[in-house]
Amino acid sequence: MKKTLLGAVTAIVLSGALVGVWPAVAQDDAPQPAPLVMHWQTAEWGPPSPERPGFPAGLRNSQIGIDPQTGGPTYLARFPAGSRFEMHWHTYTETAVVMEGSVDIILDGIRHTATEGSYIVIPGTAHHEWIVPEEADVVLLARRDGPADFHFVEP
């Protein structure tokens, strides 16, 4: 299964590069991110988030970087077991990989279960909600195509 997922992701990345989906490297003087090699299990986590409407209490993040051209962040997010990130949407596309654990995501009204190694694409404006099982935390590696914003949907 893991080899199949890796092969599929590699094929997608290569096909995207071949058809010009990936943006060209900037030729101007815009700052570029520094090279980085890290292991997610050694990341420095921020403190647990306080109670905020819509956000899961105890959510922890580890900022990896921000794209200097788009303002899109890349970060790790640790959702506590039994937590829920209520229905919301973002202006820009968000992608995530489940690094550890499992999570249910309701994406445009359809419930999906994502387990370790799952790759998730959430198009901009798509309504989605994260539901973490009671058994264990889930860790996601997430990337946004633009600045992070949160628009909660009233039930």
DSSP string for residues in 96-141: EEEEESEEEEEETTEEEEEETT-EEEE-TT--EEEE--TT--EEEE
Q: What averages of pLDDT result for each successive group of 10 residues across the chain (155 residues)?
A: 42 35 49 85 92 92 94 97 97 98 97 98 98 97 97 90
Q: Residue 23: inside a domain, yes or no?
A: no
d(CA 62, CA 46): 6
Q: Residue 29: inside a domain, yes or no?
A: no
Q: How many domains does the chain have?
A: 1
Determine the structural domain holding residue 131 and report its residue range.
35-152
> Model-level pTM greater than 0.95?
no
Q: Residue 83: inside a domain, yes or no?
A: yes
Q: What's the CATH number where 92 sits?
A: 2.60.120.10
Q: Residue 60: inside a domain, yes or no?
A: yes
Q: Residue 10: inside a domain, yes or no?
A: no
